[in-house]
Chains A and B, each alone.
Chain A
Amino acid sequence: MAEHPMDHARRAAALPRSNRQRTPACRVRPSGIATGRSARLSLLGLVAVLTITLAGCSASTSGAAAGPSASPKGALASPTSDRPSVPALSGNVVVFAAASLTKTFTDLAHSFESAHPGVHVQLSFGGSPTLAQQIEQGAPADVFASADQAVMAQAVKAAAIAGTPQTFATNVLEIAVPVGNPGHVTSLAAFADPSLRIAVCAVQVPCGAASAKVFAVAGITPRPDTLEQDVTAVLTKVELGEVDAGLVYRTDVAVAGAKVLGIPFPQSGAAVNIYPIAQVAHAPNPAAAVAFIDYVRGPIGRQALAQAGFGSP
């Protein structure tokens, strides 16, 4: 039987602590982590348990997803309000995050773990659409941080998200040129110069869509030599000096450090990328998910994001 999260929340308040977090039939959490006694299972064991649980679960998923709007509220409210001032979080919290967040979230995960001993943050980075797809297919994630609002909206529509996504960062495009700026690029107009080697993202991926928007606003018809599959590929080609200019995110320029030179341009405001974050429906560890989201949106998270070149929403 698939237990309704509401039942779980109600019972959680009534039962002694040791039983409170018992996994409902369709939750994905090994019992060793739920009790918090043995801190972590081996990865292998975890995978095995997850696989079995997921397999047993698939038939009842549609039933559990029937009341998505009602369930998360209950599930979130009780444990949070119930908790003492130092929340006794435990277990794994699995965070799926957009690739552009790799460095920032890795740092934040470490400081979050120091602040909450007993919690282990597992990070999985990838393209936002890919991650959303995995979550919709039942990947055992607690938190989803997307680089794209449309992708998040799609995930919400697919009932893969609990509650309302919160925006936590923004990002804008910047021109990246190799060290020494061999193409003497100063503005977006360089992207129309056929004598220069130019890389931009393909229009099918988010950075490409954003690029198209700024070109339209600037009235420039770009003459790219390659339409890359993601922003990292553009950055690689700039770093290696194979292109004279590429259009990437400000945060990518920050990550690349001295290897590339960033050139801001006024039209970048036309395509501000907004990053939403949300708890995943049926998150195995909802309490830790909420805490992590709060942490990212809190002062420490904001500072780290700003340092990496993100804007605040």
Chain B
Amino acid sequence: MSSTSGLQGQLRVRRAEFTLDLVLAVPAGSVTALLGPNGAGKTTSLSLLAGLLPLDTGRVSLDDTVLDDPGAGVFLAPERRPVGVVFQDYLLFPHLSVLDNVAFGPRSRGAGRRAARVIAQRWLERLGLGEHASARPRRLSGGQAQRVAIARALATDPRLLLLDEPLAALDASTRVEVRSELRRHLRDYPGATVLVTHDPLDAMVLADQIVVIEGGRAVQQGSPAEVARHPRTAYVARLVGLNLYRGRASGTTVELDEGARLAVGPAHSGPVFLAFPPSAVALHRARPDGSPRNCWPVTVAGLEQQGNLVRLALAGHPAVLADVTAAAVAALDLVPGAKVWAAVKATEIEVYPG
């Protein structure tokens, strides 16, 4: 990266379970997701960036400020870093009102009590929480708590925003809504954002860049589409085994950026993401009768055994990943070059405003 604005980090630290060794470059205004399984070093990375852990070697700088450089003997304590953190399960102070939670940062950074509350109130209103200012955090829903946590982190005007599994604490029913809301807030944020998740969908929807880490090292790095389309290791393929598309919705029809068209359940309008798992794709020898609305011809481009399933890479409009049983591979004679029909039910497709 040539730009000096944003986050530049070489993170190296030895832990009991692994050695973390990661290079990060996150321009201001962009979102990078660290994606990986539990114990891969994601949360450790965030702790290093926030200053809750010191580096063994390496260097972290933000814009023109050095945050940590053991070689030069520089270490900025967490309370002196222009960094905001949204913790997993949010860690809102239970003894303080929502307003005082958000005012905590400005107040700790030198604002008077009244000024801090004014700032906090402004952030709460911006995030649509104005009427909850006097509530205790335990009265909030999961989505509201997350927004308070974001407001609290942003109220100090950080130049780097860190999010640790921002959606893990939510139940499945609120997740979809909160995810797209979070995407909107991150888009508005002018600083650099690093988020950590083990959920590929979060990474795909929320990030501009994905860094897949495994055992403390980056195994793949790129835009969500690149990572999803061209998994470089079996691990990444399994991890990001998702069909993900961008497009423009108009009612229940979505015009994909790559030219095809898919029908979806709920109506939307404007830019959207579409996502569905490979297991949602059904394959047929011939065009099926009473056909589902989403049905198109594809050519088998590759096969890979994954456990007792076989993952097929299928070329077509659009290209798609499908998981089928070994028996189906034999029955349909699915060798590279074979031509079949792919079908996906509209109700299986998740839609996110883009």
| Whether chain A touches chain B in the assembled complex (some CB pair under 8 Å) | no
